[in-house]
Amino acid sequence: DQQVKQNSPSLSVQEGRISILNCDYTNSMFDYFLWYKKYPAEGPTFLISISSIKDKNEDGRFTVFLNKSAKHLSLHIVPSQPGDSAVYFCAATNAGKSTFGDGTTLTVKP
Amino acid sequence: DAGITQSPRYKITETGRQVTLMCHQTWSHSYMFWYRQDLGHGLRLIYYSAAADITDKGEVPDGYVVSRSKTENFPLTLESATRSQTSVYFCASRGWEHPNEKLFFGSGTQLSVL
């Protein structure tokens, strides 16, 4: 039973437009949520996070929204740039251990 | 160099062989983790360690053994490799101060079991 789901395996957007990546979770005990970005042949790197007591966190072009009642979070990238093309993993933590989604491959076209 | 390093980057082995993947970090992070990523899937936790000589099972520990005699090293051993263990293995670490702190990942080891 997958506790963290990213239902869209891929997403393609035009440069300058908004990218919206979605993530759903089932475990109410998760208390922190993170997004990681992964380029080919590299390990994931941290992008942005949000505590379960908040509903929004912003860092430059990246904003994460959390809807606890729906057990849903989303990552918005505005404006999208070709260098943002990568795999994005959603992760949820409980007791210090992270559970990851399957990832969404974002392609930003020039 | 500072950071978290994994070795080897690529490994090909045969079914039944013992294989050890190495992980070394220079931050003195308390926590270290091993994840595997199968094609088209997310990362699944194999084992983790809260400190030297303290290890615990993750989601998919069967067929793997870990040890942590020193804070900076966290090797992962496949005692008798099987084809289902073909995967990309990532080591990660974080400090102890904040349980929800971000993880720092190594570059991964791509393991093929023939």
Apex B26 CA angle, B25 and B28, nearest 5? 90
The per-residue pLDDT for B81 is: 97
The per-residue pLDDT for A2 is: 82
- Statement: residue B1 has pLDDT above 60: no
**A97 to chain B: which residues are within 8 Å by CB?**
45, 48, 58
Structure tokens at B102: 């971000």
Q: What are B34-62's pLDDT values in tens digits? A: 999 998 788 999 999 999 999 999 999 99
CA distance B16 to chain A (A): 27
Q: What are B63-103's pLDDT values in tens digits? A: 999 999 999 999 999 999 999 999 999 999 998 766 667 89
- Statement: residue B24 has pLDDT above 70: yes
Q: Are A102 and B44 an interchain contact pair (Cβ–Cβ within 8 Å)?
A: no
Determine how β-strand A97-100 pairs with β-strand A86-94.
antiparallel
Q: Average per-residue pLDDT in chain A?
A: 95
- Choose among A9, A89, A93: nearest Cβ to B100: A93
Q: Considering only CA atoms, which of A40, A74, A43, A80 is closest in space to residue A60?
A: A80
- Statement: residue B107 has pLDDT above 90: yes
Cα(A102)–Cα(B9) distance, rounded to whole angstroms?
22
Cα(A90)–Cα(A24) distance, rounded to whole angstroms?
9
The per-residue pLDDT for B99 is: 62
The per-residue pLDDT for B101 is: 78
Cα(B58)–Cα(A100) distance, rounded to whole angstroms?
13
Positions of E strands within chain A: 4-5, 10-14, 19-25, 32-38, 45-51, 56-59, 62-67, 72-77, 86-94, 97-100, 104-109
Sign of CA dihedral A86, B85, B68, B58: positive
Q: What are A52-67's pLDDT values in tens digits? A: 999 999 999 999 999 9
